[in-house]
Amino acid sequence: MASYEAVRAMFESFCVNKFKSTGVIQWMINSAWPEMYWQLYDWYLRPNGAFYGTKKACQPKNIIYNYGDRGIYLHNDTLEDLNDCYAFITLYNFNSEIVFYNSVKTTLKQNSVKKLKDIKIPSKIHGICFLNLKIQDRNNREIASNLYWIPEKNDVMDFKNTKWFITPVKEYADFKSLSELPVTKIKYNHKIQKKGDKSFVELRINNTGNKIAFFIEAKLVNGKSKEPVLPVFWDDNYFSLMPNESRTIKAWFYMKDLNGAKPEIKIHGVNIRMDK
């Protein structure tokens, strides 16, 4: 989760300031030996939170929360105008209750970025809140989505002691309460179809509760050993579902990596239980 948040923020910061910045470099894409962080995928070819945070930040058309000025931005990295789209901004408190909602009809020129509006966290909110952002086209098809877990107090940076490679942190934001999120229940179903030397997975996950299902991880494991099957190419992972929301994700893998066993799907999350 820390890797997801840190790396997504780096890329999104560049997107918001793309015409004021010269570029951004990610160190590193993969690790040459087993280690816990920095890489987008590890020595075992397992993508971590940083990989999917990067993928989320680099959506060609995106809606972004800027931690620096608390603004909501639209970013269009394509050569097509974004016309007649709708931005939806929903703020939830720690108990998944909606405390703010706004929808905005907007457009965005090709290869551009613009600020939609500022977000002020209501004073009645204490602790962590969740900012859910979406863009839809005129036919209600989702273009992009993003979710942010926002602490009551941000990191306090020590800009006085900034070096070219680091700015120290004086005080850290407090995310400990994420481990105490109210529990919600989920259901899921999947189908796996073999084509040649590959198999393709379609997994649908439903949040059947009235609380946010936070930071869900889908894994494909060997049915005998229960070890992860690697590599697996999920189109999304480490995502969250709003109350009563559903999502379908897809993946593919090589049959040979099962070593003759049957595949199994495992679902994990910060605050989820299976709804039987």
- Determine phi and psi for 223, rounding to 5 degrees: -60, -25
Are 94 and 216 in a shared domain? no
Average pLDDT in the 105-121 region?
Answer: 95
Write out pLDDT tens, residues 136-194: 999 999 999 999 999 998 899 999 999 988 999 999 999 999 999 999 999 999 999 99
Task: Give the angle 173-57-62 at the CA atoms, nearest 5°.
Answer: 115
User: What range defines the domain where residue 199 resides?
Assistant: 184-274
Are 196 and 267 in a shared domain? yes
Are 90 and 162 in a shared domain? yes
How confident is the model at residue 254, as a pLDDT?
Answer: 98
Alpha-carbon gap, residue 182 to 94, rounded angstroms: 8
Domain boundary among 180, 205, 222: 180
Are 98 and 209 in a shared domain? no
Domain boundary among 137, 159, 180: 180
Write out pLDDT tens, residues 229-251: 999 999 999 999 999 999 999 99
Among 124-128, 129-133, 158-162, 202-206, the minimum mean pLDDT is found in 124-128
Are 168 and 188 in a shared domain? no
Average pLDDT in the 40-63 region?
Answer: 97
How confident is the model at residue 124, as a pLDDT?
Answer: 82
Confidence of residue 275 (pLDDT cuts 50, 70, 90): confident
Are 66 and 189 in a shared domain? no
How confident is the model at residue 199, as a pLDDT?
Answer: 98
pLDDT of 197 > 70? The answer is yes
How confident is the model at residue 212, as a pLDDT?
Answer: 99
Domain boundary among 122, 149, 180: 180
On whether the CB atoms of residues 212 and 181 are closer than 8 A, the answer is yes
pLDDT of 224 > 70? The answer is yes
Count of structural domains, the chain:
2
Provide the CATH number for the domain around residue 65. Answer: 2.60.40.10
Are 137 and 52 in a shared domain? yes
How confident is the model at residue 165, as a pLDDT?
Answer: 86
On whether the CB atoms of residues 49 and 56 are closer than 8 A, the answer is no
Are 154 and 235 in a shared domain? no
Are 131 and 188 in a shared domain? no
On whether the CB atoms of residues 76 and 109 are closer than 8 A, the answer is yes
Confidence of residue 276 (pLDDT cuts 50, 70, 90): low
Are 137 and 163 in a shared domain? yes
Spatial neighbors of 252 by CB under 8 A, at least 6 apart, are 198, 199, 200, 201, 232, 233
Are 258 and 224 in a shared domain? yes
Distance between alpha carbon 48 and the CA centroid of its chain, in Å? Answer: 11
Are 245 and 162 in a shared domain? no
User: Tokens 């002691």 sit at which residue?
Assistant: 161
Measured between alpha carbons, how far is residue 249 from residues 90, 223, 239 in Å? Answer: 23, 21, 10
- What pTM did the predictor assign? 0.95
